A and B are shown apart, each in its own frame.
Chain A
């Protein structure tokens, strides 16, 4: 019934995370800061309203024209001298990247931050094939040293405090003394990575926006590692999901105004890098070859449903997770998959299937905080409810992959009983009478009660129902 049961463990992992005071403190501090900074950026509600309406429309427009825009992007990239590759699966994308590297004789790779390469588990694939990838974003570098996955899509090592990082650097970087001074830790990373940049045979990056009109790849970042990865080595490979395309260059400014402000509360990132071609004749630097890998991995299936399609508007700002009462308490690793938080629990079951990640949409209070802050107006809670429904309904045409795989016979029976009870006045009346008499004798360890009462007091049934009380007061229900 469940294809990949080991992945469905959000509940169990959440319990562990909730009992980890250090992790709770690390997340709490970080998320409180991010929320305050974002709120300050959008203090002018009029501006926020019109800007996000524009942002949502730009993304919806791009998705409505997705195949045409991808073809236009490809044609313009090719005209500009950028090679374009298409991959249906992460395995295909990994093979394409490896093939490009092997053809160029590349042994070492310097990487800018890219969630899509995390989705592909590209580093493991390269290492298996004798190529060494080095993460150059400071957060990514830290978790690479620690052998971990990112716990946040914008700040990958947000789960670590400086003591832990000091320890890690002292352990893993030769000659590095233990220090909790952030400037010294940053300088140590700069020193350690300089050589990696200079010696790398290739650079790999993600893409924030790909502009169809001009064949331009837009990458934003604060550190400069993204610019270095895409400029210093002789070969640059950019990897992106097929949904990241925009129709026009004019679409970039509004989204650029939404993304960093939503993400970290910055008006703009330090660097906005727009790459439109490899090094031209006479130019003195820049990679001699640029490749763009377009990854589907289930996105075209999501696109095939006009309601779920809204998921693909996401610009990966992370505001939804920064504001999520679940994410901020359990942290990103609890979600197991690459994308945590509200966007993760919406996207992952759609990409991987409900049979593999069906517990994710249930990790939500449906409080709508995510929808309130989403700069492109993705109705996250509504779509989560749809996924929850489909997780227990047998697959209907058009349902998400793996639909129905979470149906349980006791739950189905429970609902059947419910229908019976509420469908017949007589049975309903007898039923409520019985509950009034015997309901309180039910042990809290009874099958359907057990989980609910684990964190709540068992409700007490009143001896008289509302109907009876009303009738005694002279109301009539006919």
Chain B
């Protein structure tokens, strides 16, 4: 019983037992397809995100013009993902420069921390109840591209929307294996630490642009 670990566990185990209560019923909210999409959009917009309804065919083009209107100079993207390849193929001339996040952060820090204007990521889905994007970074699509540049662009398929986090965790089988890092994003970075006044972009992105690909796109 020499280590703090053993002493702490011994004390906890010596404590009188209390019965572990059953978890009483609780039903997370559920929606039909139209309400699901409407709720998802409304919640994200209430959190100060821009949601654009796009199609599988036109989203790169739409994104290019959205960014051009904002005067975005460069966007970091993940070249090895399907969406990244699609982006690079259809980007063409003009518009913001695409910068590939294809190296370890140690060699890419400077671009991420102080040069890129935007970062583009896919999502593993969206949650209607809270207007949340499910980000599931991988070795192809690293963590920091959604966080360091002033604008985060996220691509969501309407078919990947769920009603609640509880449902997402269940249908996507999260308990069977969590990634290094999973993140729910519900709007741009914000704070209310100064006199409860909302201010955006305190550390992370000031803007969140969501491209929602309709499920019956051509």
Contacts and interface: CB of A to CB of B under 8 A. Distances in A.
Given A64-B17, A155-B193, A253-B169, A283 B12 contact: no
A389 interface: no
Contact of B139 (A157, A190, A216, A284): A284
A124 B102 CA distance: 40
A86 B5 contact: yes
B164 interface: yes
A194 B193 CA distance: 18
Interface in A50-85: 50-51, 53-54, 57-58, 60-61, 63-67, 70-71
A56 B27 CA distance: 15
B89 interface: no
A interface: dominant SS: helix
Given A222-B190, A279-B180, A283-B180, A271 B4 contact: no
B110 to A, nearest CB: 8
A274 B179 CA distance: 9
A231 B93 CA distance: 34
Nearest to B175: A249
Contacts of A248: 175
Interface in B167-183: 169-170, 174-175, 177-183
Given A162-B194, A227-B204, A250 B12 contact: no
A66 B12 contact: yes
Given A64-B18, A183-B199, A304-B14, A285 B26 contact: no
Contacts of B181: 231, 273-276, 286
Interface in A424-463: none
A277 B180 contact: yes
Interface stretch (B53-61, B63-71, B142-150, B210-218): B142-150
Nearest to A193: B203
A60 B109 contact: no
A186 B180 contact: no
Interface string A285-310: 11000000010100011011010010
B25 A280 contact: no
Contacts, number: 251
A254 interface: yes
Interface residues of B, number: 81
A238 to B, nearest CB: 13
Contact of B4 (A57, A88, A249, A256): A88
A270 B188 contact: yes
B83 interface: no
B186 A268 contact: yes
A341 to B, nearest CB: 18
A186 B197 CA distance: 10
B21 A61 contact: yes
A186 B130 contact: no
B165 A252 contact: yes
A47 B182 CA distance: 28
B34 interface: no
Interface in A239-284: 242, 248-254, 256-257, 264, 267-280, 282-284
Given A249-B175, A286-B143, A309 B202 contact: no
B5 A224 contact: no
Contacts of A270: 47, 185-190, 204
A319 to B, nearest CB: 16
A242 B8 contact: yes
Nearest to B187: A270
Nearest to B144: A285
Interface stretch (A136-144, A332-340, A363-371): A136-144
A327 interface: no
A276 B179 contact: yes
Contacts of B26: 50-51, 53-54, 254
A420 interface: no
B144 A296 contact: no
A282 B139 contact: yes
Contacts of B109: 198, 232
B204 A88 contact: no
A284 B143 CA distance: 8
A40 to B, nearest CB: 13
Nearest to B11: A300
A216 B175 CA distance: 10
A400 interface: no
A228 interface: yes
A277 B177 CA distance: 11
Nearest to A65: B20
Contacts of B179: 276
Contacts of A137: 193
Interface of A: 29-30, 33-34, 50-51, 53-54, 57-58, 60-61, 63-67, 70-71, 86-88, 92, 136-139, 142, 155-157, 161-162, 165, 182-183, 185-187, 189-190, 193-194, 197-198, 213-216, 222-225, 227-228, 231-232, 242, 248-254, 256-257, 264, 267-280, 282-286, 294, 296, 300-301, 303-304, 306, 309
Given A227-B143, A250-B175, 8 more contacts: A34-B196, A57-B23, A57-B24, A88-B7, A137-B193, A185-B194, A224-B202, A271-B204
- The list of the 5 closest CB pairs from A to B, nearest first, reads A224-B204, A285-B105, A139-B193, A54-B26, A67-B12
17 contacts: A58-B23, A64-B20, A87-B4, A88-B8, A190-B201, A213-B175, A222-B190, A223-B202, A223-B203, A227-B143, A268-B131, A270-B185, A272-B184, A272-B186, A283-B139, A286-B143, A304-B16
Interface of B: 3-5, 7-9, 11-28, 43, 47, 101-105, 108-109, 113-114, 129-132, 137-139, 142-144, 147-148, 164-166, 169-170, 174-175, 177-197, 199, 201-205
